Every structure is written in structure tokens, then in C-alpha cells.
Structure 1
């Protein structure tokens, strides 16, 4: 049995005690993570508040447009606005799906129509391709049908070959002599 046929690497390497994490307590990690998330959320809210808040000495240059801006209302109105927005989004998504379905149906109908046209054209080509089925057209003629010197070898009689046992009197020997000696 070859060493290559024998199984190898039957056990996986395991971590040793020094290779593990320093603290394996998950609750400590969770507490640290939650604290970092709260701090980041507070920082984000603080940054948003400073961006949206107006300075106390701010004077509106266009007071006639002041009533156009929506004033923040009670939280119930904000949630109803969000509900309205989500309802509108759902309605728009349904409308989008409906339009996509209609376009797919139109595309499929167009493809089916093109396939029918292609098959009809192919059938027409097949019918026209057979010269026996064509009543109006004649069979195509070859380019050399009207050549003057055509098929002249057919008219000459062929010499009958005879077997001669004598190499000096054979047809090959006679041609050879006439070609190279005479």
C-alpha cells in the first residue's frame, strides 16, 4: 500500500489555552457595546440639534413666508404623517408592480408575435426553396452552360485497354518511347 493511498490529516488543530481571547465573558462585551451605541446615538442627536436649531438672534429676512414652513406638532401628528407616508409608499409600490407586470405581458406578447412572424417567414422560405414546388420560376442554369468547348471529351471514343503480357509491347512502353526517344 502506498503512502499516498493512506488517509492523512484526520484531526483538526485546536486552540491552546494561550490562544483564546483574554476575557470570554460575553456579558462584558454586550455592556461595552451598548454603552458605545448609546454614546454614539447621543452624539448624533446633539449634532442634529445644533444643525437644525437657529441662533437666538436670528432674524427672518422673509417674514411673509414664515407660515409656509410646517411647525413641529405633537408626536401623534408626526406618527400619522409617517403612517400616511408609508401608506403612500405602499400604494406607489403596488402601482409600480402593476406597471412592471403590464410591461412584462406586453413584452411577452411582442415576443410571441415576432416568433409567429419568424415561423411564417421560415415556412415561406421553405416553400420557395424547393424548385419542384415553384410553378413560376425556372431551374437555375450553370454559368458554363453556353460555353463553346464544353463536354468535348464525351464525344471521342475511348480506346479499349488491352492487357499485353509483353512489357516491350505494352501501351505504357509505347507512350514512353514516343515521348522521350522520338
Structure 2
């Protein structure tokens, strides 16, 4: 890459200062791209939904109003249903408030509450708790017995399978199982006495030869014998 188009910060001058022995201070020049830019954010102006304007607006009412206009343009019965639901919710809130106002607070002495005898319902609950604990204990005992039975059966089954496998291995080895009347000869193959086996065993194959002549080659002779006789 050529350096002809680059600016000369320290131009060469003739004389004693010519060459690389010239001493000069650091340059005070800098590029415009090194300057700080966009140092402040762009603030919102009035009418551009500033924070104060959003705090003054009721967004819920605006959303409901837009929904009402949208659904009312499609279905006219939506407005009636909405008004009916709103009135029913107001009635429910009023009835709940009246019921809460009618409730009379009753103070109960701590000593009186401690001295109250147990009712029949509480005694029945205690009996039910005892019965439940007994049933849970019985259930745990039954589960434990079933788990033990399952482990015992699995162990017995594994032992039986190991014995059967060992017996099969003993019967399969002819050197160990001498009671077998069979001989140690190798069995014949299934295709030893097939009729059409080794048909070309006695035929004499003519060796292939290479003749550098297209007229006297074996292929040409066979071709003439087949198609030109």
C-alpha cells in the first residue's frame, strides 16, 4: 500500500535536522470521530405521553371504553350484558357489606374456653383418629409382608433358572455327557447329496489368451461362429 496519500505530520526539511534525528513534540491534532457525541438523551415533549401525562390518565377506563366500542360495533347485546354484569357485581358487594355490618362481635373469656367440656363430636373425632392409626399400621404390615414374599419368590425363580441353565450346558457338551449314544462325527451338510452340485467340476476351462489382432482374436471367432455360420 502506498503512503503517498497520507498526511505528513513532520515534513522533511533540509539541513542539520534532515533524517531520523529530528526531535519534535507530540501532535495536538485529533480526528473529529474521536469527539464525544450524543451526550444527552432525547427527552419527551408535551403531548408525547410524558410521565406526568400518564399519571393523570386512567388507562383502565380508556381500555374498557375501547373494548365497549369494539364489541358494540359487532354485537349490540354486548352492552346490555356488560351493564347487567356490572349491576349484579355492585349488588353482591353491597349485600356482603351489609352482612359484615350485621355481625356482632362476641368476646370469649379465655378461662371459660379452657373449662368447656369436650362434646360428643370431639370424642368421635378422637376415636376416628385411633381407628385410622390402627388401619395405617395394619396396611404397613401387609405391604411389608407382600414385599418379603415377592423377594423370596424372585430369589427362588432365579435359583431355578440357574439350575436349568447349568443342566442344559451339561447336556449340550458331549465330552461331559457320556451317556449320550450319539457319535462324535461331524454332521453332513444339507447340500452334500444334491443332484446339481459341482456340475462344472470335470469341465476343462480354456485359458484366456491375448491376441493383438481384431480378426484372429477369440472374441471375433466366437462372434463369427454364433452369427455368421
TM-score interval for Structure 1 and Structure 2 normalised by the shorter chain: 0.3 to 0.5
Structure whose alpha-carbon radius of gyration is higher: 2
What TM-score do you get using the length of structure 2 for normalisation? 0.37
What TM-score do you get using the length of structure 1 for normalisation? 0.45
